Structure 1
Amino acid sequence: MEKLQAALAKARAQRDGEPISRGGRPELSARAKSRRIAESEAKDSVWSAIPLFEPTARRMQQSRIFSADASNEGTHFDILRTKLLLEMRRNNWKRIAITSALAGSGKTTTACNLIAGFGRQPEVRCMLFDVDLRRPSVAKFFGATPESGLVDVFEGNVPFAEQAVRIHPNTIMSMTNRPLRDPSQLLSKQQTAETLDEIQQTYQPDIMLFDLPPVLVSDETRAFLKLVDAALIVAASDTTSIAQVDEVEREVSEYTNVAGVILNKCRFMDEGYGYSY
């Protein structure tokens, strides 16, 4: 098998005009290196065109977004970030939904800490979309007042490049500026799926995070889950029952993969967060 793989690698290298190293792995030719550099610079240009938004440290602290800097408070979110990244690479996932059984479980706090934490990993490009259209709160968490929202992007009224903001060179957020009464109709449209595909193709992020509504509260999460590769489920230890977690897992698994369950608000843990994968 190893000889076959080496032969295939050699054939691909010869086809692309790249020299072969002594170890059997193709070495990048000058042309291939130039192509990669050009592709990287083009991607950098697209990302840098998104306007920068810098939330205040006070606002981040008030919203319990601790992972923007290395700290004891953000350690559990850093662990979650790393586990999620490894799991996504292992399964070749790009899109991750973050949801819960009921409101108040901490899903938005988790989503915001993940996007802030990925900002400390410049080699990873990450996006966060506030798809909890009935009760949008990502903008409030970061202290932003966007003129337009994700709904305007999905409806085709505003280009994504004009609506989104960067909080780091490698992280982009698309926030929602007003609640929508009936989001399921919008999220079920083919245009919404095509818009996400276009954003992914244009910006080529490593990770796309989606803050979704609670599964047991409304139906729009079910309409959107088919557009993601996997979902994280956030459960509050003091309010979410085991039966509810089981029900949400069953619901989610009908539409996509379950990446894991996050147990939040644990009274008997130092920082109040636990993980199950």
Structure 2
Amino acid sequence: KTMMFGPWPSGPIWFVWVLMTFDLTASLLYRVSPHLLEPINRLSIMGFERPSKFWLFLVVVSAAAYLPMLVHYGQNYWFELGPFSVQASRVLLYASYFFIGAGIGAANLEGGVLSAHGRLTERRWFWTGVTLIPYALMWVMIYIKRQIIGNPDPLPGWYLAAYGSFYVLFSASILFAILAYFLQSKAVGPTLLDRMQSDAYGMFLVHYPIVLWLQYWLFDMDLPAIAKAAIAFFATVALSWAATAVLRKLPGANYVL
């Protein structure tokens, strides 16, 4: 029925086509001018010593891309075209993060905000603390929605603007906290994550059916939820990694995986 009359739900893998669209757009823009991302790269270089400046840039751009769309469309509306869908309020937010990330990696990566030797790695606890503030405020807004204004549908614009602002601050802050942790943990010699790096994209592509069937297999087992989650996680990582390693031995597979 859904094939004939719709909708065509794409499930959790909807983001794959969004990334492909961003990739194609970036390729076309690069053909127009290879220097379009240079301003972002210059800001990244400034962020080597002052990561807070780049954080502020990320917050301002993502707020401008996200808040108007959120207030206008709400949080539950999706753009749909056949089997392709994307959440309306977040499509420009995703694009902002994608192209800002591309700008960081365009050149001078070791001299920019994501350098393992920059100031970001020295202040990982600071960014962890900063993350907790908007996170707590988001929970305050959830309490207001549920207990004070009665969870109306649609939510009022003032609520969406306030919650969205805290969400933008939280997203930028936790991104810096996570990156600071991993950059600081960069050890001499290969680590497990280093060994996984070349297979990471392939693992992303093949993991979905693996985790889906693992969850189905675990569904009727009399185990605590935390145990099921741990089994599903570690088994998915191991099986996805193994499947990718096998697939990469096929002729030409390295160009894709």
Q: What TM-score range do you get, normalising by the shorter chain? A: under 0.3
Task: Report the structure, 1 or 2, having the larger helix content.
Answer: 2
Structure showing greater relative contact order (alpha-carbon pairs closer than 8 Å, 6 or more residues apart): 1
TM-score by length of 1: 0.21
TM-score by length of 2: 0.22
Task: Report the structure, 1 or 2, having the larger strand content.
Answer: 1
